[in-house]
Structure 1
């Protein structure tokens, strides 16, 4: 059996739009296709059934390969909270849990994104190896979401994404 541990990534972003618009961007397949993973022209599939037990799927095509992400919704509480699993079957059978909480502000809203990242251990790892892996996996995951959240912000605030 593969040994694993979990590290937690938390990111916050503010948006100059109502909570409902940001929540919709996480649950509407047509909108997800425009910002999640890369962008609309590489995302071949973007499906979402945002209800408890419903599923979501994205297939992103880059460099001649398909990258598939799937998950299941655990909590759907519009426009405040969404909890779902995130899994890329071609890389691992493990599913991370993602929580998106959206709080209204006087002007716009604040999103708190939390991902419980499953870290796979290699044989013979020490405590230090595990701690380093946690930091590395967290850093790589944060970098990916950082760029996606730039697109998400531009999309919900302006209606389109202009960065390459």
Structure 2
């Protein structure tokens, strides 16, 4: 167990889509705009989605909520298509606080199953339920895209 990130929020979702399709959605800004951010998920406007999908590459997902711009940033730590994706996750305004997201995808029948764990510092423990709810909403949206 990581002592750096002892608080964990874990969610699982089954998909009719293949592991490759589910994995690829996490690195494609066109797909990210359909399941992670935007007015279909919450009251926000997408300002900019940028990704450099390689180990050591980074991403920046800027949205406007209630008149405020929020920049979700991270670095890709592992990319093992279509099985595993690991990246840091933070809001630029909250740095140096950050977390790590671990996504594991396995075949399930003709589709796939994704387990996402957000590993967070101990001081984020009160955020676990909120994180589970947010990730669940995103995974449900992704599962609904055909």
Q: What TM-score comes out, normalization by structure 2 length?
A: 0.87
CA offsets per residue over residues 119-158 of structure 1, 9 Å max, x none?
A: 43xxxxxxxxxxxx62x31111111112212211112xx3
Does the aligned pair in 1 maintain the 2:103–2:116 contact within 8 Å? yes
RCO higher in structure (CA 8 A, sep ≥6): 2
Matches within 5 A, 1:59-98: 59-98=62-101
| Higher percent of residues as strand | 2
Per-residue deviation at 1:5? Answer: 6.1
Mark the runs of 5 or more structure 2 residues left unpaired by the alignment.
Answer: none
CA offsets per residue over residues 77-118 of structure 1, 9 Å max, x none?
A: 111110000010212412211111110122200001011012
Q: Give, in whole Å, the separation in 1 of the partners of 2:5 and 2:28.
A: 32
- Provide the alpha-carbon RMSD of the alignment: 1.8
| Equivalent residue number for residue 161 of structure 1 | none
Which one of the candidate residues 95, 102, 107 is aligned to 1:104?
A: 107
1:27 equivalent to 2:17? Answer no
Mark the runs of 5 or more structure 1 residues left unpaired by the alignment.
Answer: 121-132, 159-164
Stretches of 4+ moved more than 4 A in 1? none
Does the aligned pair in 2 maintain the 1:101–1:113 contact within 8 Å? yes
**1:146–1:78: structure 2 CA closer, same or farther, 3 Å change rule?**
same
Number of equivalenced pairs = 140
Does the aligned pair in 2 maintain the 1:19–1:109 contact within 8 Å? yes
Q: What TM-score comes out, normalization by structure 1 length?
A: 0.78
Q: Give, in whole Å, the separation in 2 of the partners of 1:10 and 1:141.
A: 9
